[in-house]
Amino acid sequence: MALGDSVVSICNIGLIELGADPIVSLDDNRKAAKICKARYDQVRREILAAHPWRSAKKQAQLAANVTVPLFQYANAFNLPSDFIRTFDLPEDDDTPWEISGSQIFTDADAPLDLTYIFDLQDPTKFEPLLAAALGYAIGAVAAYSLTQNQADVQRLTAMVEGKLAMARLVSAQSGSP
């Protein structure tokens, strides 16, 4: 399997880095598989929120809510159900906005064009740096339980930060001039 082909292959990135045996399934009756199964979705969403991954970008046009905010803003818009974080609101840069709960409050008119990072779940769609950062992050959260070594936690956390830094560099180099 290539990097990012499956949830198991992504989990194995971190497990192998720890020196643990790879898992075959999240339903294995081994401690490593149980940790991966319990923590994968949460860690995946955290890594998606940590960087504006191009493979997790989506666009939406949001209709204004009938009920407007009580103060400060003219309109409220419900966020999409798969929303992780904003990528871009192409309104005038001077138009203030903020996220409150599951809504965006702003003075912008409807429809609101939103480019956002969505809850990408299909690992075959992950770009390589996303798969690697997620794999090392899984390894970091499993490290102490599997090795009882805080240095392993720190080492894998540094590897995640390195992959995120590399992703920022790649993103900066691949935008329009």
Q: Are 23 and 12 in contact (CB under 8 A)?
A: yes
The C-alpha atoms of residue 69 and residue 104 are separated, in whole angstroms, by 10
Q: How confident is the model at residue 88 (pLDDT cuts 50, 70, 90)?
A: confident
Q: Are 138 and 39 in contact (CB under 8 A)?
A: yes
Query: What would the two tokens of residue 8 be?
Result: 């198991």
Which 3-state string (H, E, C) describes 62-128? ECECCCCCCCCCCEEEECCCCEEEEEECCCCCCCCEEEECCEEEECCCCCEEEEEEECCCCHHHCCH
Residue 136: closest CA among 2, 46, 26: 46
**Residue 2 has what pLDDT?**
44
Mean pLDDT of 86-106: 84
Give me the helix-helix angle, 31-50 and 128-147, nearest 10°.
140
pTM of the model: 0.91
The C-alpha atoms of residue 112 and residue 89 are separated, in whole angstroms, by 8
The C-alpha atoms of residue 109 and residue 159 are separated, in whole angstroms, by 43
| Residue range 133-176, pLDDT digits in tens | 999 999 999 999 999 999 999 999 999 999 999 999 998 888 75
Rg of the chain over Cα atoms, rounded to whole angstroms, equals: 19
